[in-house]
């Protein structure tokens, strides 16, 4: 059973809507624990039911670092608030990555979630390769925002970032990440670079915005207001503009519970494997 479910919902004629729901809280925490250990590629095998739950590598320092990422740090309230935002952002990015991974094929190659809060650049990227040929058939750019102000974040940050991609202002970062992923198919650096050429073509590109929202954003009308302006990314189809939402009633409290569950799973993994 999937840790997080993703259901298609109505937004409007310009946006394809997805609504996420946590189906198994413990399963989700276990997967995030493995990702926090720096072992996202092993988590892929767990999601695909090819490996049992637990880390592929075990070391006391790995567990110490992963637990530390779940904690709130800082001396002042402002420092603690920044720490919480970074921690919750990582947890939501993991949820986004898990959802994408659950629905992907064996020829989908995805950028791992950031395990360092200082990492800049793309929130996420997925490259879909042809089933048999060394040819890229699609690329999805992810922007994930864990926030109490989803409309403000979408309009002021997500749309700005997507707009820069759409206007070809972030091409070098996009190409470099695409090449890195395509090399996982076994192509050498030059072949992978040539195969990444389609990432420059808007017709092969999909944008997926994911936001935490309150329970009130559960109708097509409210989702339409949330994702207003998405059609500013012109010359692409509705299927290439994805708006995903995760309904969370008490945002920071819920993510605190999730972090505590991840720590619990890490402690259990450590007891079992170290």
Cα angle vertex 265, ends 262, 271, to 5°?
145
105-121 confidence digits (pLDDT tens): 999 999 999 887 645 67
Q: What are phi and psi of 129, to 5 degrees?
A: -100, 155
Q: List own/partner pairs for 262-268 with CB under 8 A and 24 or more apart.
A: 262/29, 262/32, 262/33, 262/36, 262/70, 262/91, 263/67, 263/70, 264/29, 265/26, 265/29, 265/30, 265/33, 266/33, 266/36, 266/37, 266/63, 266/66, 266/67, 266/70, 267/63, 267/67
Which residues of the chain carry a pLDDT beneath 70? 117-120
In DSSP terms, which residues pair with 251 in a beta bridge?
Answer: none
38-88 confidence digits (pLDDT tens): 999 999 999 998 898 899 999 999 999 999 999 999 999 999 999 999 999
- Name residues whose C-beta falls within 8 Å of residue 236's C-beta, 6 or more positions apart in sequence: 202, 203, 205
- Count of CA atoms in the C-beta half-sphere (13 A) of 81: 4
Please tell me the predicted confidence (pLDDT) of residue 12: 98
- Count of CA atoms in the C-beta half-sphere (13 A) of 264: 11
Please tell me the predicted confidence (pLDDT) of residue 123: 83
**Whole-model pTM?**
0.96
Structure tokens at 117: 């809060």
Q: How far apart are CA 196 and CA 67, in angstroms?
A: 36
Q: Output the CA–CA distances (angstroms, integers) from residue 156 to 149, 172, 226, 229, 235, in the order listed.
A: 11, 23, 12, 11, 22
Contact assessment for residue 123 and residue 145, using Cβ atoms and an 8 Å cutoff: no
Q: How far apart are CA 96 and CA 182, in angstroms?
A: 21
Please tell me the predicted confidence (pLDDT) of residue 1: 75
Q: Which residue do the tokens 């929130």 mark?
A: 123
């Amino acid at each position: 059973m999937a840790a997080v479910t993703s259901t298609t919902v109505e937004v409007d004629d310009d946006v394809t809507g997805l609504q996420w729901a946590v189906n198994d809280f413990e399963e989700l925490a276990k997967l995030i624990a493995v990702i926090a250990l720096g072992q996202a590629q092993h988590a892929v095998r767990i999601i695909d039911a090819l490996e049992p739950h637990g880390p592929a590598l075990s070391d006391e320092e790995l567990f110490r670092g992963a637990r530390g990422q779940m904690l709130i740090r800082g001396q002042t309230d402002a420092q603690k608030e920044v720490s919480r935002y970074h921690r919750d952002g990582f947890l939501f990015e993991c949820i986004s990555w898990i959802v994408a991974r659950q629905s992907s094929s064996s020829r989908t190659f995805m950028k791992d979630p950031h395990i360092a809060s200082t990492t800049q650049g793309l929130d996420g990227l997925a490259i879909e390769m042809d089933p048999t040929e060394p040819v890229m058939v699609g690329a999805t750019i992810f922007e994930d925002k864990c926030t109490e102000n989803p409309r403000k974040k979408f309009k002021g940050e997500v749309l700005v970032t997507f707009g820069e991609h759409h206007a070809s202002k972030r091409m070098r970062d996009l190409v470099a990440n695409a090449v890195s992923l395509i090399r996982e198919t076994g192509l050498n650096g030059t072949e992978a670079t040539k195969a990444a050429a389609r990432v420059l073509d808007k017709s092969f590109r999909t944008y997926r915005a994911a936001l935490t929202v309150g329970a009130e954003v559960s109708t097509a009308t409210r989702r339409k207001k949330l994702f207003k302006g998405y059609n500013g990314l012109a010359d692409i189809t509705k299927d290439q503009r994805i708006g995903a939402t995760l309904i969370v009633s008490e945002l920071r409290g819920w993510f605190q519970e999730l972090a505590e569950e991840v720590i619990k799973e890490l402690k259990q993994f450590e007891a079992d494997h170290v």
